[in-house]
Amino acid sequence: MLCACAAAPQQSVTERLDPATGTTVIVMSEPVQMVTEQNRGASRDPFAFVAPFEVDRMGDRKIFLWLSTPEDNGSVVSAEVLCGAERLDLGARSLNPPELGISGAPYQRTAPWSRIWYFPLSDAALGCLGGAARVTAVTHLESGAEERFTSEAGKTRGLAAFAAHHVAPL
């Protein structure tokens, strides 16, 4: 009897069709939440989020990294992501959805004051994220200050599921 009351397991990776471009977008069910490493004060957002996504346009598959960082402590001029202690090579600039071949964001904006970044992601970088026990986002503010947000233990499991889905034969 109790089995009938249990909720169905949530899929960690989902696919959806972008209605404006006809492109398939593969996403994690929810981004990885990272928590600030320093005290940002009671009125500042302590969270950043990161998640890979794949754009599949008629078999032309490309992987990208979505990053959401708070911009409530000054203007953020650059961001980087660490996989364990390794800095990921994400390119010099953030892209926008039309450059990715999609009409809108793959993940919902986490807060009105968050800055959204889109970076190309190599298979090697995705593999690193998929095996990472710790992921860190580092933002560099216009003031010269640096802020760090790190995933807590166990929060990176969705990255492994996404990496496994990406390499699985279709």
Structure tokens at 146: 């640096």
56-91 confidence digits (pLDDT tens): 988 889 999 999 999 888 889 999 999 999 999 998
pLDDT of 4 > 60? The answer is: no
SS (H, E, C) 38-77: CCCCCCCCCEEEEEEEEEEECCEEEEEEEEEEECCCCCEE
Kindly report the CATH number assigned to the domain that includes residue 98. Answer: 2.60.40
CB crowding 109-141: b at 16 or more within 10 Å, else e: ebeeebbbbbbebeeebbebbbebeebbbbbee
- The reply to whether 7 falls in a domain is no
pLDDT of 49 > 90? The answer is: yes
- The reply to whether 1 falls in a domain is no
11-47 confidence digits (pLDDT tens): 688 899 999 998 999 999 999 999 888 877 777 888 8
pLDDT at 58: 86
pTM value is 0.87
- The reply to whether 81 falls in a domain is yes
- The reply to whether 4 falls in a domain is no
Range of the domain at 55: 12-167
161-170 confidence digits (pLDDT tens): 899 887 654 4
Cβ atoms of 28 and 161 closer than 8 Å: yes
- The reply to whether 122 falls in a domain is yes
- The reply to whether 3 falls in a domain is no
- The reply to whether 2 falls in a domain is no
Looking at the structure of the chain, the number of domains it has is 1
Residue that wins the pLDDT comparison between 132 and 74: 132
- The reply to whether 6 falls in a domain is no
